[in-house]
Structure 1
């Protein structure tokens, strides 16, 4: 799984940073990606990446502020020009359907692919063979959600030397054992899956939070995650201003990461008042609270690898 940051500025773009959008590339066999927010210019940022719109499968909108949403109509329209575009599903707060309907009606849009829009409430919103996505409301100036993406655990590794010793022929029996089924050899001997398959490999957890003040739901969504993305709009010492605008400081983002026991924190959504040098200083301040923290920049790519046991 890989995150690609397509926009990392708060409120308005700068010369170096576009407004908010994050892509999550999924592992095989999906061969697709998801988007979290689509600030104005997101499709332009995609042109500078390896991501193709016909491989976009889902979009998750945190809230309806323009710096998280205004790129959506253009992106959806342009996607019709890509051959082989798979059906696209969009999830977001109430009002999203009306926004899209209004823009499409007034501009006469006709899409060349299947589009569905789901206006969400807190709870589980997506589940398939590989992932579950949960949403919860955060604390912002308007209704805003955070998303927790949980990869399902994978079967453990086959003990190939032991299988050879036991005389298990390679082929379908291997597959059954790996999926947890016991098998019987031609000799009548039963081979138990639990004896020849290692422990399951835990799935990865990635949490992407929308704009928010510090709140309990941010901690709950982030609990024990491999990586969380948290806004860092303001510097430490600006807590009063952050609260007034429904945002967090970098120190508050670090506190959330620490309380949630996450492995890695990536901060984004920086106020345009901060240049890259200033943001680096903000990161150093946050490290006093949570060590494994970094600042996102446009086109930053972060791989989130599976954690496997030492015996695998």
Structure 2
């Protein structure tokens, strides 16, 4: 599991950075990737990346501002031309379906795969045996949502060498042991699951927040997250401007990560006034003073999501 950034700029693209989009690569977990937001030219960014649109399984939109949305019709159309045939589900706030229906209809775009559009107003938006995704309303000029992606705990691994020493070969009894059930061999030997199965693997939590100024909604989405992605449109010397435009500063993002007990923070959605990497250093420094485990998101860079033990 890792995050791969396709756009990290706020508002409009620049020669250095594109507008917002980030992929959650789940190649080992699902053999697919999910995407969060799809600003203009995201499909061009994908052409410069290792991502393949045919592997895109789910796409989550935080809000309906153009720098998070305008790349979506073209990407959906191109996915079909590039051989994407697997179903795709797009999640987002009310109004998303109308926007896509009109865009794809007027342009007579051909979508040769099953496309499902799910509008939501927060809460649980997706769940299966291995993942669940929850959304929460933030505070922006229009309804903007953050997403909390929770990987469910997975069973521990079997000690196959020990099992073979008992004369137990792979079969149905292996499955029972992995479920935590004790079993008895044909020779009458009782094998206790706790002795041959390692501790379950704790699922990871990734929080991706849409545009927001500091608000109550960010905390429940971020509590104990392994990785939080938070906008940092401005440095804190422009905190008044950030509040006026319903955005956050790097320091405010760090304060949220610290309060939430997160493990790592990634800053993104930078104002165009910070036009080069050197100009972003003050944002990183002010965040690290409060939350040392902070990094700047970089386009075409992967950031692994590591497992960790929850703090007591």
TM bracket, shorter-chain basis: over 0.9
Alpha-carbon contact 1:224-1:261 (below 8 Å) kept: yes
Alpha-carbon contact 1:234-1:270 (below 8 Å) kept: yes
Return the offset for 1:297. 1.7
Change over 3 Å in CA distance of 1:308–1:260 after alignment to 2: closer
1:108 aligns with 2:108: yes
User: Over the residues paired in the alignment, what is the CA RMSD in angstroms?
Assistant: 1.6
Which residue number corresponds to residue 137 of structure 1?
137
Alpha-carbon contact 1:201-1:308 (below 8 Å) kept: no
1:70-85 alignment to 2 at 5 Å? 70-85=70-85
Alpha-carbon contact 1:204-1:306 (below 8 Å) kept: yes
1:164-202 CA distances to partner (integer Å, 9 max, x unpaired)? 444433444333312323322002333232232122110
SS of alignment partner, residue 91 of structure 1 = strand
1:47-66 alignment to 2 at 5 Å? 47-66=47-66
Which residue number corresponds to residue 154 of structure 2?
154
Q: Quick one: distance in 1 between partners of 2:256 and 2:306?
A: 22
SS of alignment partner, residue 181 of structure 2 = coil
1:89-238 alignment to 2 at 5 Å? 89-238=89-238
Q: Structure 2: give runs of 5+ residues left out of the alignment.
A: none
Q: Structure 1: give runs of 5+ residues left out of the alignment.
A: none
Which residue number corresponds to residue 69 of structure 2?
69
Return the offset for 1:283. 0.3
1:305 aligns with 2:306: yes
Which residue number corresponds to residue 290 of structure 1?
291
Q: Quick one: distance in 2 between partners of 1:3 and 1:71?
A: 19
Q: Quick one: distance in 2 between partners of 1:140 and 1:66?
A: 14
Return the offset for 1:24. 0.5
* TM-score using structure 2 length: 0.95
Q: Quick one: distance in 2 between partners of 1:271 and 1:76?
A: 27
Alpha-carbon contact 1:201-1:307 (below 8 Å) kept: no
Q: Quick one: distance in 1 between partners of 2:82 and 2:110?
A: 14
Q: Quick one: distance in 2 between partners of 1:307 and 1:181?
A: 27
Alpha-carbon contact 2:226-2:307 (below 8 Å) kept: no
Return the offset for 1:163. 2.7
Which range moved further: 232-241 or 257-266? 232-241
Alpha-carbon contact 2:27-2:33 (below 8 Å) kept: no
Which residue number corresponds to residue 269 of structure 2?
269
Q: Quick one: distance in 2 between partners of 1:262 and 1:233?
A: 20
Q: Quick one: distance in 1 between partners of 2:5 and 2:194?
A: 41
SS of alignment partner, residue 112 of structure 1 = coil
1:235-272 CA distances to partner (integer Å, 9 max, x unpaired)? 11211111111100000000000000000000000000
Which range moved further: 266-275 or 178-187? 178-187
Q: Quick one: distance in 1 between partners of 2:151 and 2:242?
A: 33
Return the offset for 1:308. 7.7
Change over 3 Å in CA distance of 1:84–1:59 after alignment to 2: closer
Q: Quick one: distance in 2 between partners of 1:94 and 1:308?
A: 37
Q: Quick one: distance in 2 between partners of 1:257 and 1:26?
A: 24
1:127-180 CA distances to partner (integer Å, 9 max, x unpaired)? 112100000000001000000000011111223454344443344433331232
Return the offset for 1:110. 2.2
Return the offset for 1:102. 1.2
SS of alignment partner, residue 81 of structure 2 = coil
